[in-house]
A and B are shown apart, each in its own frame.
Chain A
Amino acid sequence: MDIKQTPQSPLSSASTGRSMARASLLDARLLRPAVAGSLLRLAPQAQWKNPVMFVVYLGSMFTTVLLGLALAGHADAPPAFVALVAVTLWLTVLFANFAEALAEGRSRAQAASLRAAKKNVAAKKLRAPRRDAGVELVASTDLRKGDVVLVEAGDTLPGDGEVIDGIASVDESAITGESAPVIRESGGDFSSVTGGTRVLSDWLVVRITTQPGEAFLDRMIAMVEGASRKKTPNEIALTVFLVALTIVFLLACVTLYPFSVYAATASGGSPVSLTVLVALLVCLIPTTIGGLLSAIGVAGMGRLLRANVIATSGRAIEAAGDVDVLLLDKTGTITLGNRQATRFVPAPGVEEGALASAAQLASLADETPEGRSIVVLAKQRFNLRERTVGELKGEFVPFSAQTRMSGVDTGGQRIRKGAADAVRRFVEAQGGAFPEAVSAAVDAVARSGATPLVVVENTRVLGVVELKDIVKGGIRERFAELRRMGIRTVMVTGDNRLTAAAIAAEAGVDDFLAEATPEAKLTLIRREQAAGRLVAMTGDGTNDAPALAQADVAVAMNSGTQAAKEAGNMVDLDSNPTKLIEIVAIGKEMLMTRGALTTFSIANDVAKYFAILPAAFVATYPQLGALNLMHLASPQSAILSAVIFNALIIVALIPLALRGVRYRPDTAEKLLRRNLLVYGLGGLLTPFAGIKLIDLALVALGVA
């Protein structure tokens, strides 16, 4: 039996970033830099990155030139009108800049609160990888990958690294929000340490594993900031789509000038003015989504940070929305972190109390949660007092990989507990026999999905202790939800098939992988991927690294090893495996927000046509006034209303872009129907009302 120690993971994520995250959208601390940022982004090289808004940018400049010409007496349209259009177009550009700056500011603030943990500290750099090699003091930022440092009680870890010597308790609350210190030691699954955490006792020799500025948090912060933010695959595809739409409308508007010249010659009127053409163009191109696109991506990363997950690639966040299969570790995710003793099954002729007593003795020095639960159960059932190994004058026999048993030697009695086959070998090696009845009990316990531990005193088998996995409350409903979303859950466990099947049935997962080895996990992921599915998993151990590297969305637990974190593409600071479900929702929300705003943006165009076309051709074909469905006051107020609506809608939708369209677990069909109704039909109707209202306001203000 594999009694693997699993670090306790907090189910509710208390964290340092929360207070910041809850800060209102209109927090002055965020607004002021965002306003400054939106002005800074007026530089052409910043605008060029967003092709849709770049067209608006050029349009703003063009109308400004037209204004200059109008003031100089070459009026294309009344100067006051040209001025208003030019101002509105500049505002459109600024609003889009503002959205991006605000999203960046929020995510940066989020990251900064995490980064605060990463102070620039003095590091004790060792000349050789030994504790006594002699230290020199250097700044943590001067450390390079591969440097070895000594960290002693009270020191802050200068960077992420791997423990190569020593054992110490470390306060990781700055990163995880979990106040209980954790033990870090060389070798095994607990050898990774994170920069910014503090050693509370003893000492560690740590090999630094990241270049300064490359640590996870730094990578995430860099991803949020404009400079190194790469567009995700879906964002690229959407940009292509939006650029194509922009080209279509550019064509429609540019060719409209010769068309109207022809029409004007024939009808004796005058052609459309250039100011109106630019206004029409800006209204038609998808500025709403174009202006908010990068804000949506940045906000998505911000939401992930708020969930205390650090992503090291934007691609992974997007892939999370596409996940088809979730590989979930049984322990800690589906069941409470540990098995608990629930029942004593004595062998024939053995008192249950005697079994309980022996089991308790064998577990006294066993600090694993399973061991503790046996002690507790014995105390509850038979009121057996806890004894210490010292008072028994016995000797504790720890669990080892060879014997696969633990127990105690006291007064000639050798009491052991362990897996059935280990105990059988122990008994038979001493010439004893393993009773049939106990075998049957072992099988019965295993069949029920629990783990049987057999207790033996010398050669006498006393009976079976049933250790049961406690399935987390509410997990069954979560899986049903996932199934509705089209996501299959696969439980991964080291347990045998019988046990695994029983728990799988109880938890309601779709499938399970029993007796899982790292290779079996890797094979399973490859098989799912070969069938075209996207696989997400969580992992913490070094042996999970190959599977993590293979999975499409790989969330490493912060409590896990450095190797695991390097192999994954996200790190969960809370080390909460259930977080995967939240990550999937965040990925989906990001895509949904983009889709919803794209639909909204395109649907808006219908109303804008009805506002602008009759106004634009009033001098050519006055009869086109029949298309003025909204009865806008004058041609100028119609065009201004459309442009102003177009600018204001960006501001109005900033909260939605930052918050994201809420994802509700449901079938694709229902989601689509709802979003089409809200953003499609809504997008069709909203501008009719909006433009009319602005027109009324303009008339009331006497502007047009």
Chain B
Amino acid sequence: MTQDLFLLTLLFLALLGAMAWPLGAHMARLFSGTYAWQPRLEAGLLRLLRLNGDDMRWTVYALGVLLFNLIGLLVLYGLQRLQGGLPFNPQGFGAVSADSAFNTAISFVTNTNWQGYAGESTMSHGVQMLGLTVQNFLSAATGIVVAIALMRGFALRAAAGLGNVWLDLLRAVLGVLLPLSLLLALALAGLGVVQSLDAHVTVALHGTPGSTQTLPLGPVASQEAIKLLGTNGGGFFNANSAHPFENPSALTNLLEMLAIFLVPAALCFAFGRLVGDRRQGWTLLAAMTLLFLIMLAVFFAAESSANPLLTALGVDGHAGNLEGKELRFGLAGSSLFAVVTTAASCGAVNAMHDSLMPLAGLVTLLQMQLGEVIFGGVGSGFYGMLLFAVVAVFVAGLMIGRTPEYLGKKIQSFDIRMTMLALLATPLLVLAGTALSVVLPAGLAGPANPGAHGFSEVLYAFSSAANNNGSAFAGLSANTPFYNTLLGLAMWFGRFLVIVPVLALAGSLAAKKAVPVTSGTLRTDTGLFVGLLMGAVLIVGALTYLPALALGPIAEHLTLFGIH
């Protein structure tokens, strides 16, 4: 069992590195505009779309990002509300309710893809394709351009602007996400993921004459590809990647996991190239990978232990906790997927997270609460990790007796203000949202289980929403006006209360001159710094959430195993 996981993880990381490295190189070139074919093509595209291609100050860049997402939000809300009258609706679904549409629109625009609804019984193919899938691309592109803008903040010297937001969005969608999705969609369809515009097929059940089964169909493979590549996670079906039409085999399972980490890993390589020091990219990747392996180890240790409540009923516990798992994937395939999907802010699931052992549930919770920086969402994981790097550099820089600097840029009071603003946003939303929900009657109606587990369900929902993960612990009845609204707000602010300060930080850094490196400079490409960065992530995250976690999964774990 452990050997399975070990080999699978090794294979996974090796393939990831092999694919992310060239993609990172491609993205670095693409976003610097150094391909020979770029200038003419891009100028033409901008002319066609009547967009201005000028260099933008951070404020204009941020305004562009906000405007772009606001329009996306309105369109997606409109599509859902008008669903009944729109084409590609073979099932004849009516309008989605106002609060659910609000929640879903924010959810897909913010790259969260939290789903309060069941896809196959709520959304028409038309809305899935035109609304949800389109936003899967656009929200991922938003993450990428913000990450690129922050990289430019470090790479540029004494610059007024951060680049052009429209051009960057075009590059992200057309130059990165579309080609990758096309390849992946074809591969998945080839491996058995369904792709059809029909409603469903009704088949007679073999061996039981007279009874039939309805098999839902849809443009699944095409949505599946971007769902993973864009770390969106919103499944075509409610069962998400546990559904055999979304994820039929061990091979597709591996492919899907790789797709989740591909762009986040490639961004590290792109960073190294853009700032002209590849070791810097490797450092971030090393910190992410090590944190990931620690989380995986804890998760797997918890999952391979038997649930004492089940063993008491005479269930053989040797295979570990198989409750809520797809046996097609087994313990290793499910564990790796669960840790990957919560490390990255994907939220696609191939197992029931509500059925995880308490400590495994804690790992998934904590990974989200750390701010989705262990690989993290497309773009957002990268800029989140850089925020922690800024914190690490700040404290360490003081300890060597210099004004802290990262990649030659001095970290001063404005930069710290923006960094801390971005890092404060999600704990505020998670803790305040959870607190409101466990006090108000409307919130208390949600959890399916009482006590510590019920608390974990609510905490998981807000951690997932505010950190734009979108996976669910399930168990929580969240499709209510109360949760739809509160979680919708958590998703929106969890996204943009981070993005705006990050762009402000990028603008401030870009405007600075670079300090030359001397032997008195804190090196940020060493093992020591990897350790420091991991420490910053774990300590800030753990200190913020330890009390809440103690009342949830930790109390649950101690109760379950009768530890006193």
**Which residues of A are at the interface with B, using a C-beta cutoff of 8 A?**
233-234, 236-238, 240-241, 243-244, 247-249, 251-256, 258-263, 266-267, 280, 284, 318, 321-322, 324, 483-488, 530-533, 587-592, 594-596, 598-599, 602-603, 605-606, 609, 613, 617, 620-627, 663, 667-669, 671-673, 675-676, 679-680
Contact = CB atoms under 8 A, between A and B. Distances in A.
Given A595-B396, A671-B401, 11 more contacts: A237-B413, A248-B544, A251-B431, A252-B545, A280-B547, A487-B520, A592-B399, A621-B551, A624-B550, A671-B400, A673-B528
Interface string B389-401: 0010011111111
A663 B554 contact: no
Contacts of B396: 595, 672, 676
Interface of B: 391, 394-403, 408, 411-413, 415-417, 420-421, 423-424, 427-428, 431-432, 434-436, 438-439, 444, 450-452, 454-455, 513-516, 518-523, 526, 528, 532, 535, 539-540, 543-548, 550-551, 554-555, 558-559, 563-564
A252 B545 CA distance: 7
A322 B452 contact: no
Contacts of A676: 396, 399, 528, 532
A263 B555 contact: yes
A248 B431 CA distance: 10
B519 A668 contact: yes
Contacts of A622: 564
Sorted from nearest, which 4 A-B pairs have the closest CB atoms?
A: A486-B520, A595-B398, A588-B401, A486-B518
A679 B396 CA distance: 11
B515 A533 contact: yes
Contacts of A253: 547
A676 B394 CA distance: 13
B543 A284 contact: yes
Contact of A669 (B444, B452, B523): B523
A613 B451 contact: no
B412 A533 contact: no
17 contacts: A237-B394, A237-B411, A240-B416, A241-B391, A241-B416, A254-B435, A259-B438, A259-B551, A266-B451, A531-B516, A592-B401, A613-B547, A622-B564, A623-B558, A667-B520, A669-B526, A680-B535
Nearest to A241: B416
A592 B554 contact: no
Contact of A240 (B395, B417, B452, B550): B417
A262 B550 contact: no
Contact of B544 (A252, A261, A591, A680): A252
A623 B563 contact: yes
A309 B536 CA distance: 38
A575 to B, nearest CB: 26
A240 B420 contact: yes
A672 B522 contact: yes
Contacts, number: 218
Contacts of A485: 519-520
B400 A233 contact: no
Given A248-B544, A263-B451, A675 B551 contact: no
Contacts of B514: 532
A262 B548 contact: no
A259 B472 CA distance: 20
A254 B431 CA distance: 9
A595 B427 contact: no
B520 A263 contact: no
B413 A240 contact: yes
Nearest to A585: B401
A616 B431 CA distance: 19
B63 to A, nearest CB: 25
A590 to B, nearest CB: 8
Contacts of A625: 564
A248 B539 CA distance: 12
A251 B428 contact: yes
Q: Is the interface of B mostly helix, strand, loop or mixed?
A: helix
B450 A266 contact: yes
Contact of B402 (A533, A591, A599, A606): A591
A277 to B, nearest CB: 10
A530 B444 CA distance: 61
B460 to A, nearest CB: 14
Contacts of A254: 435
Given A624-B550, A672-B396, A263 B416 contact: no
A321 B401 contact: yes
Given A248-B427, A592-B398, A668 B523 contact: yes
B559 A263 contact: no
A267 B519 contact: no
A484 B400 CA distance: 13
A52 B564 CA distance: 36
Given A252-B431, A626-B558, A667-B520, A672 B400 contact: yes
A675 B400 CA distance: 8
Nearest to A595: B398
Contacts of B539: 602-603, 606
A369 B563 CA distance: 85
Contacts of A596: 398-399
Contacts of A260: 551
Nearest to B438: A262
B558 A624 contact: yes
Contacts of B547: 252-253, 256, 259, 280, 609, 613
A530 B513 CA distance: 8
A485 B515 CA distance: 15
Contacts of B427: 248, 251-252
A244 B390 CA distance: 14
Contacts of B551: 256, 259-260, 263, 617, 620-621
Contacts of B515: 324, 532-533
A37 B73 CA distance: 58
Contacts of A243: 420
A572 B427 CA distance: 49
Contacts of A266: 450-452, 454-455
Contacts of B554: 624, 627
Contacts of A679: 399
Given A259-B551, A622-B564, A321 B543 contact: no
Interface-central residue, B399, B412, B416, B563, by most chain A CB under 10 Å: B399
A614 B539 CA distance: 19
Contacts of B408: 532
Nearest to B402: A322
B541 to A, nearest CB: 10
A668 B400 contact: yes
Nearest to A673: B528
A679 B454 CA distance: 40
Nearest to A253: B547
A623 B520 CA distance: 50
A253 B424 CA distance: 15
**Which residue of B427, B432, B548, B555 has the most chain A CB atoms within 10 A of its CB atom?**
B555
A676 B455 CA distance: 37
Nearest to B423: A244
A267 B551 CA distance: 11
A659 to B, nearest CB: 15
Nearest to A239: B413
B307 to A, nearest CB: 17
A573 B175 CA distance: 65
B394 A484 contact: no
B392 to A, nearest CB: 11
B510 to A, nearest CB: 14
A591 B398 contact: yes
Given A237-B413, A241-B394, A321-B402, A258 B564 contact: no
Which of A237, A249, A617 has the largest number of chain B CB atoms within 10 A?
A: A237
A233 B402 CA distance: 12
Nearest to A623: B558
A595 B438 contact: no
A667 B412 CA distance: 22
B518 A488 contact: yes
Q: Which of B391, B416, B450 has the most CB of A within 10 A?
A: B416
A258 B400 contact: no
Contacts of A259: 434-435, 438, 455, 547-548, 551
